[in-house]
């Protein structure tokens, strides 16, 4: 019996070593060589201190900053441990109330802006962690941010355009802006 178990145990040990040690080390090595930033969490550093990841949204509420997409995670927004949407359907009263409250907050923060509010500013993403807003979502906020910082809207618009990311392959998705990167660039402006 031991003679028939021995080859199975040897194959088991070899495959465990191959798939549990060699393969993870190889993948980690390739990731560190070819995709170092992404493999390490895409952490953004300012003055030697990490301020966040460019892959996970952060809550901004000051009128001096661009605001990202709402987050449906709990107990706090952009909680990576609770990633996911609210699971409310489009006709659910709680979703309608949440969107109404978000529209009211955006209008209260910039009462002079009567333009239609882009949908991504009032709807959470499926993950609740989205670090981007659409280019339209960022442009909608230019007036508020410019007034709060004492900058010209043209200067802020130029900064938004500078940070715009084009759709993947020019057709997949729509132009977007990473909110944390944009806000860090804004802080450098003054």
pLDDT reading at 26 higher than 80: yes
17-33 average pLDDT score: 95
Q: Do 103 and 19 fall within a single domain? A: no
| Mean pLDDT calculated for residue range 96-104 | 93
Tell me, yes or no, whether 88 and 112 share the same domain.
yes
Percent of the chain, pLDDT > 70?
A: 99
Give the per-residue pLDDT at 112: 93
**Which pLDDT does position 101 carry in this prediction?**
94
Residue 190 CB-density burial (10 A; 0-12 exposed, 13-18 middle, 19+ buried) = exposed
Residue 115 burial class via C-beta count within 10 angstroms: exposed 0-12, middle 13-18, buried 19 and up:
exposed
Is the confidence at residue 183, as pLDDT, over 90? yes
Clarify whether residues 85 and 51 are in a common domain: yes
Number of domains forming the structure of the chain: 2
Tell me the residue range of the domain where 152 lies: 44-189
- Confidence label for 89 from pLDDT (cuts 50, 70 and 90): confident
Distance between CA 77 and CA 80 in Å, rounded?
9
**pLDDT for 190 beyond 90:** no
pLDDT bucket at 73, cuts 50 / 70 / 90? confident
Query: What Cα–Cα distance (Å) separates residue 39 from each residue in 19, 23, 28, 82?
Result: 20, 16, 8, 21
The pTM for the full model equals 0.81
**Phi, psi at 161, each rounded to 5°:** -60, -35
Do 25 and 75 lie in one domain? The reply is: no
Question: Are residue 20 and residue 110 in the same domain, yes or no?
Answer: no
Judged against a pLDDT cut of 90, whether residue 67 lies above it is answered with yes
User: Chain-wide mean pLDDT for the chain?
Assistant: 92
Per-residue model confidence (pLDDT) at position 79: 85
Q: Are residues 152 and 67 in the same domain?
A: yes
**Residue 158: per-residue pLDDT:** 97
Q: Is the pLDDT of residue 91 over 80?
A: yes
Q: Are residues 63 and 127 in the same domain?
A: yes
Residues 64 and 120 occupy one common structural domain: yes
């Amino acid at each position: 019996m031991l003679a028939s178990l021995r080859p199975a145990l040897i194959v088991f040990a070899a495959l465990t070593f191959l798939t549990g040690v060699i393969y993870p080390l190889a993948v980690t090595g390739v990731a560190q060589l070819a995709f170092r930033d992404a493999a390490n969490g895409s952490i953004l550093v300012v003055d030697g201190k990490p301020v966040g990841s460019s892959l996970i949204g952060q809550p901004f509420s000051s009128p001096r900053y661009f605001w990202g997409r709402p987050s449906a995670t709990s107990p706090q927004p952009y909680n990576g441990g609770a990633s996911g949407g609210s699971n409310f359907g489009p006709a659910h009263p709680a979703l309608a109330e949440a969107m109404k409250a978000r529209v009211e907050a955006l209008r209260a923060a910039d009462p002079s802006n009567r333009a239609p509010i882009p949908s991504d500013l009032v709807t959470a993403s499926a993950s609740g962690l989205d670090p981007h807003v659409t280019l339209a979502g960022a442009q909608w906020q230019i007036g508020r941010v410019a007034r709060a910082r004492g900058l010209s809207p043209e200067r802020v618009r130029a900064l938004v355009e500078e940070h715009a990311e084009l759709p993947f392959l020019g057709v997949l998705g729509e132009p977007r802006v990473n909110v944390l990167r944009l806000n860090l660039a804004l802080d450098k402006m003054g």
